A and B are shown apart, each in its own frame.
Chain A
Amino acid sequence: GQNIDQPTEMTATEGAIVQINCTYQTSGFNGLFWYQQHAGEAPTFLSYNVLDGLEEKGRFSSFLSRSKGYSYLLLKELQMKDSASYLCAVKDSNYQLIWGAGTKLIIKP
């Protein structure tokens, strides 16, 4: 079956750096997405990786290793507003999105 694994919850301190990992086993691969979802709100797009390597967007970076079935989202200079759930999703061979359960990130002052 298809599976996306990510930690259920993480805690970090304001101003610090946190890395959220995602491992996947899917039927084919057509890209990996990270979405951010604040409590009670809609998911919003953060990043997309289809080739191996690091994509940087301001304070957020996303890394992909297709051979290892692994990605991480790196958040730098954490702010209180970064408290949210982070969803990892992979497009399979049929271009369907398979979603992880999400990682709830708690930022402490």
Chain B
Amino acid sequence: NAGVTQTPKFRVLKTGQSMTLLCAQDMNHEYMYWYRQDPGMGLRLIHYSVGEGTTAKGEVPDGYNVSRLKKQNFLLGLESAAPSQTSVYFCASSTGSSGANVLTFGAGSRLTVL
């Protein structure tokens, strides 16, 4: 059981370039999330999805776009990368949002923007 898989694991971009991070889960989870993790800060929610075909903004959505065309996949796009987007990005999934629903995280994608 793979759980949550993120690709790529590492990427270096130049300012202004675009890229897409792919997240895939095989647990049939309805909810999927994209977080960024920066030193000295808690995980911050970028965008999330409560089901196939739906997306919603989180705490720090500016500069990012997402799509959830298939239930198992959640894509995070950067249209014009900026150095402030240098971070470790984590995808997560869960069965729902209420109660003790636990997040299952991917291994992370480390992005550096020069």
Name A residues whose Cβ lies closer than 8 Å to a Cβ of B.
4, 8, 30-31, 33, 35, 40-45, 48, 50, 87, 89, 91, 95-102
Q: How many A-B residue pairs have CB under 8 A?
A: 51
Cβ-closest 3 pairs across A and B: A99-B42, A42-B105, A95-B97
**Contact code string B33-58 (vs A, CB < 8 Å = 1, else 0):** 00000001111110000000000001
Residues A48 and B102 in contact in the complex (CB < 8 Å), given A42-B90, A42-B108: yes
CA gap between A91 and B102 in the complex, in Å: 11
Smallest beta-carbon distance A82→chain B, Å: 19
Question: Chain B residues with Cβ under 8 A from A48's Cβ?
Answer: 100, 102
Chain B positions near chain A (C-beta within 8 angstroms): 4, 40-45, 58, 90, 97-100, 102-108
Q: Cβ of A87: which chain B residues have Cβ within 8 Å of it?
A: 42-43
* Listed A/B pairs (22) with beta-carbon separation below 8 Å: A30-B99, A31-B99, A33-B102, A40-B108, A41-B107, A41-B108, A42-B4, A42-B105, A42-B106, A42-B107, A43-B90, A48-B100, A87-B42, A87-B43, A91-B97, A95-B98, A96-B45, A96-B97, A98-B42, A99-B42, A99-B43, A100-B42
